[in-house]
Amino acid sequence: MFRPTSKPARAAAKAAAVSLSAVTACAATPAALASAVPAPAGTVARQPAPGEETESGGTAGPHDVVFVQTGAEDGNRIVAYTRTPEGTLREEGSYATGGEGGRLAGAGSDGHQASQGALAYDPEEGILIAANSGNGTVSVFEVDGVRLTLRQVTPSGGGFPAGIAVHDGIAYVLNAGTGGSVQGFTIDGPRLEPIAGSRRELGLSTDRGPLQYARTPGQVGFTDDGSRLIVTTKTNGSLQVFDVDDDGLLSAEPVTNDRSPSAPFAFVTGEDGRLVVADAANTVDTFTLWKDNTVQPADSADTGEMGTGRIARNGATVYVSHSGSDALSAYRVDADGALTAAGRTATGAGPTDLAVSPAGDYLYVQTGETGGLETYRIGPDGGLTRTGTTTVPNAVGGEGIVAP
């Protein structure tokens, strides 16, 4: 399909444009980040229509679907699930991406890619994009309920793709290998086309030793107006912010916000555009992102946990996973960026990526040590009650989850 190249033209062509958020990757200045997704095929049971009776006697809602990436090194796959009225998950199909999962040196089984946003969803095109870290490709699936159709497998523009961000017809892939880079693509239906001249090197460590997993970038994401792209660099200790022009090209160099000795890992947007960062130094931090691409700290909370990494937002509440403590922490974020602890929940071993359902009533959490997937009902006060646990086939160490 034809896609206007400028943002104003694309906006006019898509009056119902939706800003992509949560899980896999949100971010920004007064704004929320976005993520994209990929991969291959298989067969799947038909998804019950909204209001249709299910085998468990309940009804399936329009958004009770979860996609999880296995990241298996012998063949990456996307596994589709539906949620029952009781809050448990039922496997509906498994789809080969046509690529391979990968593992950074030193990464534990709690997360081989050591990133957030390795699987992303574009609601405008109805596609899922997956990062095949092991062979440097991304896969693009067309989504129809729980049914996926693989439409493309294409080079990621660098080594070890580990994250994807999407906004208004543009996708950027975060490549974690060889010092880190980002590569831009236009989204043309269920296909990605490289943007000439869009690759930017991040200038991070090229070390492939046992600390490689800590020295690679953690997440890429757009601000919700699409005007800036943010990259976290973990133990390199920075938030890198690029300007994005109307054709999707980035500024030649980012503004590098040095946060060392902190280790920004992943982020979402808080109330009133606050940037909320999960830091591998075991803190949760809030910032204001200014027009000159610098950040100003607002608040910081010591989690008291180990292995702080991924983060998801549900209104004014954020949930943070701690792979070293087998736990989730909840924090409320007010309009000034102040953080208030809102509870701790024990999980299975090695929690990593997490996603909130579109209705804000369920939280899904990957547990990398066992390849598990846990479901939690979110209460009116933001509290969590576990309703189910399932094992995703061949997904130990897998990362990437989307609840469209």
Do 161 and 154 touch, CB atoms closer than 8 A? Answer: no
pLDDT on residue 201: 97
- Phi and psi torsions of 261, nearest 5°: -85, 10
pLDDT of residue 280: 96
pLDDT at res. 13: 35
pTM for this predicted structure: 0.84
Closest CA to 223 of 159, 291, 269: 269
pLDDT of residue 273: 65
Helix (H) / strand (E) element for 13: namely helix 7-13
Per-residue 3-state assignment (H helix, E strand, C coil) for the chain: CCCCCCHHHHHHHCCCCCCCCCCCCCCCCCCCCCCCCCCCCCCECCCCCCCCECCCCCECCCCCEEEEECCCCCCCEEEEEEECCCCCEEEEEEEECCCCCCCCCCCCCCCCCCCCCCEEEECCCCEEEEEECCCCEEEEEEEECCEEEEEEEEECCCCCEEEEEEECCEEEEEECCCCCEEEEEEECCCCEEECCCCCEECCCCCCCCCCHHHHCCCEEEECCCCCEEEEECHHHCEEEEEEECCCCCECCCCEEEECCCCCEEEEEECHHHCEEEEECCCEEEEEEECCCCCEEEEEEEECCCCCEEEEEEECCEEEEEECCCCEEEEEEECCCCCEEEEEEEECCCCEEEEEECCCCCEEEEEECCCCEEEEEEECCCCCEEEEEEEECCCCCCCCCEECC
Q: Which residues pair with 312 in a beta bridge?
A: 319
Residue 270 has a pLDDT of 63
Query: Can you point out the beta strands (E) in 176-307?
Result: 181-187, 192-194, 200-201, 219-222, 228-232, 238-243, 255-258, 264-269, 275-279, 283-289, 295-302
Q: What is the pLDDT of residue 269?
A: 79
β-strand partners of 122: 127
pLDDT at res. 271: 59
In residues, how long is the chain?
A: 404
The CB density around residue 145, as the number of other CB atoms within 10 Å, is 17
pLDDT of residue 20: 25
Q: Look up tokens 């236009």; give the residue.
A: 186
pLDDT of residue 207: 83
Place of tokens 């937002």: 313
- pLDDT per 10-residue tile (average), the chain, 404 residues: 36 32 31 30 30 36 85 97 96 98 92 96 97 98 97 97 96 96 96 98 90 95 90 96 96 96 91 85 96 95 97 96 97 94 97 96 97 97 97 97 96
